[in-house]
Structure formats: C-alpha cells, structure tokens
Structure 1
Amino acid sequence: MSRHRPMPTARTRRVLALLPLVGGVALAACTSTEDTPDSTPSMAAPTVASTSATPTGAPTPSAGTPTTIPTSAFVELPTELRKSPRRGTDVAEALPKLCGNEFGTGGRQVTASAAMTNTYQKAGAPASNVPQGMIHQVIFTFDGEGASAYLTRLRTAVQACPSYEQSGNPITVKSEPLPGVGDEALLLTRNWKGTMHGESTGGNSSSQIAVARVDDVVTVFDDQGWEGTSGNPTIMDRVVRDGVKTIDTWRG
C-alpha cells in the first residue's frame, strides 16, 4: 500500500537523478502543443533514452518532476504467474479505449510517459497452455497538480460512458473507488456477452481497468483476457497493488 502524502505543491521533493534505462524499456517524454488542460498528450512511439530534454514549446517542469521513467518503475510479475517476459509497448496502444479518449487526456502537465505489457498465466499452469491474459501498464508523470487533475477528468469522462460497443458487441462499464491503493484509485469493470469464434457462449465475460495516483505519478492498468476471454481479477488486484508499491519505492 502506498504511503499517503500531500500533493506535490505542499512539500519539497528531493531532485531525482535521471535514471539510466535497463532492459530496453521504451520511454518517451510527452509533448503536447495544445494549451487546453484536457488536450491529449503525445502518443508517438516511445524511444529508448537515458537522458531527456524539455519538449519544445512545453513549460519547464518543476524541480524534482521526473522527465524519464526507468524500467524499475514498472511492476514485474512473480515467476509463477509470468508466461513470458514483460515488454515495452507503445503508450497509445496500451491505453484502454471506451467511448472515446478518456485515458489520454493528460495535457501539457505530462512530463513523461511509458508503457509495458505483462503476459500472465494461472499459477502452476502447464507450459503448453496458452496465456490467460495480458495486463498493459502505462505510467504518466505530471508537473504541479496535473496527476490529481487527470483523475478528476477521468472520473467525469467515465461517468459519461456507462456503455459502448466494440465490434458490435455491447459492453457495460461499472466504476467504483479502489480503496487502499495509492493516494487515490479507480476501478472499472467491463462486462459483455461471452463469444467464441463469433458465436455466443451463453455466458458473460468481464475485464478490469485500474487507475491509481502516487503523488505526481498516475499509472493505468488494463487487463485483457486471452483472445477476448475474461481477465483474472485476482491477478489484476495483485498486479495493481504491487505496481503501486513499485512506483512508491521509485518516487520515495
């Protein structure tokens, strides 16, 4: 569980040294040329870099605000759940999509973004089994009070999207607080009629999205069951809580 702290403007941070990347994780400093607070951050393909510069035309981040995200900031699955090694992922591909661009509204206060994907299995599953699912994790870092503002905008956007369609299949969205995770967190559950090879299975499928803020950092987890099947909420809960602890350690 994250240590609860006041907002970045209420305390002085130590200036973090820029951390070199390891393991080939893809990182990108977000650049946005829009002035509106709900503008979409840059979703260009991340690039590998060990240093970063302030994006052209963007305000200079405050002292202590991260402008790079190290591999160590991302959660890693325990060995028994790891179907394959985690991999760097394009931020735009990793962000969930509901009715619109609910999760891509960071605006000019985003100072860095990066994403990774974990492919998981049930503990003890034979090596011959297909994966059970994938969890995409996106990390945004913000200047000022941008992280808190992102959660506020996201809650409003999600409330305006109780359902949507994907490939002609209606999907409902339930939103609720996720207590005890970070400084604030939100859990979304998607439900739809189960299908296999285009045919109804007669049952229901579901998957989850979790969003958590740790000080000036927001992380988004999107659990996708393998080939359209349900995700695993137990594994998702563990990954989210471990992921928030990992970020808390990084920003500690």
Structure 2
Amino acid sequence: MSRYALSPTTRALILPLLGTVALSTACTAGEGGSDPTPSAASTTSTPTAAPSPTDQPSASAGAPTTIPTSAFVELPSELRKSPRRPTRVAEALPTLCGNEFGTGGRQVTASAAMTLTYKKAGEPDSNTPQGMIHQTIFTFEGDGASDYLRRLRAAVQACPSYDQGGTKVTVGSKAVPGVGDEALLVTRTWPATSLNGERTGGEGAAQIAVARVDGVVTVLDDQGWEGSSGNPATLDRTLRDGVRAIDAWQG
C-alpha cells in the first residue's frame, strides 16, 4: 500500500464530511442572489415582487400565479404620451405615513406593475407630459383581496397627514360606488409652490384609486409631472377602464 493511500476506515470518516461541506456550500450560494426585474413580454410576477418584503406569495389552485399584460389598462390614444412600461412593484406602490399599500400578506399569489404616461387631450406629443399613473395588480387566494381593502382603509384613516420633504401633505379618502366589487379613492393635498419653490397660495393635489374585482386588486397612483397636481378626470377614467380590463381577463 502507498504511504499516501487512505485506509478504508479513514475514507469512511472523510466522505460524509465532504458531502456535508458540499451541501452547505450549495445552500449558501442561493441566498445572496438579486431579484430580477419582471420582463415586458410576460409581466409575470415572482415571489420577490410581493407587496411586503417579508411576505412571500403562496400558490393556490384557484388563484392566478401570473398576470398577463392584457390585464393592465391602456390609455386611449388621445391621452397616451408614451407606451406603457413594466415597473417594479416596489417602485409603483405609493407610500403615505408608511407601507399602507404594501400589506398584501401571504395570500398574495401574484403581483406586477405598469406605468402609464399621459398628456392633455389634444396636445401634441412634443409637449411636456401632464402626469404618470403607476398601476399595480395583486391576485389573492381566499379572502385576501377583501382583507387587503379592509387593512388599507384602516391604515389610510390612521394617516391624516404626513411630511414630505418638509411639506405637510393632508390625506383624505372616500368610497367610489359602482366600480368593481368595492373601490377606494385616496386624495393627497399640499400647499402649491412655483417652479422656484415659492408658495403660490393655492393647493396641489394627487389621487390614488384602489379597486377590487373578486380576488384581484388594482392600485392606481396618479402623479402630476414633476410634482404638479394629477388629473382626477384621467384617473377616474383609467380606474373604470382598468376594472373592465380585469373583468375581461378574469372572464
């Protein structure tokens, strides 16, 4: 026997240890990966796109686990400044005092988002956009969608105002009857300023619309261009068109 060869007894002790090291290395290697951005073609959600960083979507036989592009609203041509584009859910969801709109919990089975850039009707495409609407869609299993709306209403009521860059933003909300199974409109108002930051004496305003269609919830966050006010009429039309798009997807 060579002096470098291992006895059968020594091999029996070393091999299980090597197997343990290899298994430990394989588990560790998967923990540091980054979340991929959803692709434009499929608009398919991944577990890391869930509304809360600590909540992982769960699979359900009766709830969708992917969201097609056709489920998202498209602006009419007279309002469309540019084509809609996929957006990360974490970037599309608004925040007020905290993570009010990101409380889907473990009943979320899929989530995805799109951004719409709109203009004033009749204006040429060369003009500055009027605003952007970030649309997020969640699918839930069980009573998750109803629970989300219930938690959201309570969270918004608990946030009558918040500070944004030294400016006080006042929050109000009301139900929107006749849209989906239930809908909520959240309004944010703040003291308006000129381009150089001086108070003008008026108010700026923007709105967030949320609607539930069975086990699907959509959140539409309207933001005026470069901090200006949003367009309530455009958001209302987009909300109703968005509900119809979800209805068509759900069949």
Q: TM-score range by the shorter chain?
A: 0.7 to 0.9
Tell me the CA shift for residue 154 of structure 1: 0.4
How do 1:63-212 and structure 2 match up within 5 A? 63-195=61-193, 196-212=195-211
Q: Is the 8 A contact 2:58 2:109 kept in 1?
A: no
Q: What does residue 222 of structure 1 align with?
A: 221
Tell me the CA shift for residue 22 of structure 1: 9.1
Question: Greater share of helix residues, 1 or 2?
Answer: 2
Q: Does 1:251 align with 2:247?
A: no
Q: Which amino acid aligns with 2:188?
A: R
| CA RMSD, 1 decimal | 2.1
CA separation of 1:25 and 1:205: change in aligned 2, threshold 3 A: farther
**Paired residue secondary structure (2:178):** coil
In structure 1, C-alpha distance between the alignment counterparts of 2:75 and 2:221, rounded to whole Å: 15
CA separation of 1:108 and 1:31: change in aligned 2, threshold 3 A: farther
Structure-1-length-normalised TM-score: 0.80
CA separation of 1:169 and 1:149: change in aligned 2, threshold 3 A: same
Larger radius of gyration: 2
Q: Which amino acid aligns with 2:47?
A: C
CA separation of 1:130 and 1:59: change in aligned 2, threshold 3 A: closer
Q: Which amino acid aligns with 2:99?
A: N
Tell me the CA shift for residue 30 of structure 1: 3.1
Structure-2-length-normalised TM-score: 0.80
Tell me the CA shift for residue 127 of structure 1: 2.5
Q: Percent identity?
A: 67
Q: Is the 8 A contact 1:207 1:233 kept in 2?
A: yes
Q: Is the 8 A contact 1:211 1:221 kept in 2?
A: yes
In structure 2, C-alpha distance between the alignment counterparts of 1:242 and 1:95, rounded to whole Å: 19
CA separation of 1:43 and 1:127: change in aligned 2, threshold 3 A: farther
Q: What does residue 50 of structure 1 align with?
A: none
Q: Which amino acid aligns with 2:206?
A: S
CA separation of 1:43 and 1:219: change in aligned 2, threshold 3 A: farther
**Paired residue secondary structure (1:241):** helix
Structure ranking higher on relative contact order (CA contacts 8 Å, 6+ apart): 1
Unaligned runs of 5+ in 1: 1-20, 33-38, 45-54
Tell me the CA shift for residue 133 of structure 1: 0.1
Tell me the CA shift for residue 23 of structure 1: 5.1
1:160-215 deviation digits (Å, cap 9, x = unpaired): 00100101110101110011110000001110011123222221110100010000
Tell me the CA shift for residue 41 of structure 1: 3.0
